Amino acid sequence: MAIGERIHFLRNLRGMTQKYLGQAVGFPEKTADVRMAQYESGTRTPKADLTKTLANVLEVSPHALDVPDIDSNIGLMHTLFTLEDLRGLRVTEVDGDVCIKLDKSTGKTYHEMSQMLFAWLEQAKKLEAREITKEEYDQWRYRYPEFDTTQRWLKVPSQGLSDYFVEALKDKK
């Protein structure tokens, strides 16, 4: 998620308007909402000092606004927090182990993410059972979803063709 999307999400979470947030970080009242709209839409990117000020006003770490650096532990944690916000990822405990799961109450997001994660689990189990090699597993992961055989893709006929069949069936009655 880009920094503008994070600003938008957190601003809404805090119940702030663009104008209010813009003024709170020091923009003049006349242009505060326009400037915030530019940052949220991605047409402008805030510099480090503004990012720090935005984070302070939004009462979050600057890491919560930045595009996460998953090569660092802090960046990875903020990526997981973003996934919690957007995809219903939840941290839990199972048999004394920390686990991550999907929140079923997220509906369609849960269903779609669950299908993808089960496809990944299937490949991981095949690797563990030595049904596939590490290279095959990596190829599946790095070319996902191209090599995913669990997804069922349907070709839907055009609306014109569909209408034709409906009319043809009506004529046969």
Query: Residue 171: pLDDT band by 50, 70, 90 thresholds?
Result: low
Of the listed ranges 15-24, 68-77, 128-137, 144-153, the least confidently predicted one is: 144-153
pLDDT (0 to 100) of residue 126: 95
**Distance (Å, whole) CA 76 – CA 81:** 9
pLDDT (0 to 100) of residue 155: 42
Of 62, 82, 102, the position where a domain reaches its end is: 82
Q: Are residues 26 and 95 in the same domain?
A: no
CA distances from 32 to 23, 37, 48 (A): 6, 9, 18
Q: Are residues 131 and 70 in the same domain?
A: no
pLDDT (0 to 100) of residue 161: 59
Alpha helices of the chain — where are they, by DSSP H?
Answer: 3-13, 18-24, 32-41, 48-58, 73-87, 108-128, 134-142, 159-171
> What values do phi and psi take at 75, rounded to 5?
-60, -40
Residue 157 lies in a domain: no
Structure tokens belonging to residue 29: 């009242």
Residue 168 lies in a domain: no
- Higher-confidence residue: 164 or 77? 77
- DSSP-derived secondary structure letter, 93: E
Mean pLDDT for the chain overall: 86
Q: Are residues 57 and 105 in the same domain?
A: no
- Higher-confidence residue: 158 or 95? 95
> What values do phi and psi take at 90, rounded to 5?
-130, 145
Q: Are residues 74 and 19 in the same domain?
A: yes
Q: Are residues 20 and 72 in the same domain?
A: yes
Residue 22 lies in a domain: yes
Q: Are residues 28 and 78 in the same domain?
A: yes
Residue 92 predicted with pLDDT over 90: yes
- DSSP-derived secondary structure letter, 150: S
Full domain range(s) for residue 145 = 89-152
Residue 32 lies in a domain: yes
| Nearby residues of 98 by Cβ (< 8 Å), 6 or more positions away | 91, 92
The DSSP annotation for 111-141 comes to HHHHHHHHHHHHHHHHHHTTSS-HHHHHHHH
Which CATH number belongs to the domain containing residue 66 in this structure?
A: 1.10.260.40
Chain segment 20-75, per-residue pLDDT in tens: 999 999 999 999 999 999 999 999 999 999 999 999 999 998 888 877 778 889 88
CA distances from 115 to 5, 32, 148, 162 (A): 26, 43, 11, 29
Average of per-residue pLDDT across 99-128: 90
Of 30, 61, 82, the position where a domain reaches its end is: 82
| Nearby residues of 11 by Cβ (< 8 Å), 6 or more positions away | 17, 18, 21, 36, 40, 58
Q: Are residues 44 and 103 in the same domain?
A: no
| Nearby residues of 20 by Cβ (< 8 Å), 6 or more positions away | 32
- Domain count across the chain: 2
Residue 169 lies in a domain: no
pLDDT (0 to 100) of residue 11: 95
| Nearby residues of 101 by Cβ (< 8 Å), 6 or more positions away | 89, 90, 92
Q: Are residues 68 and 123 in the same domain?
A: no
Average of per-residue pLDDT across 160-168: 63
Q: Are residues 7 and 78 in the same domain?
A: yes
Q: Are residues 98 and 78 in the same domain?
A: no
pTM assigned to the model: 0.58
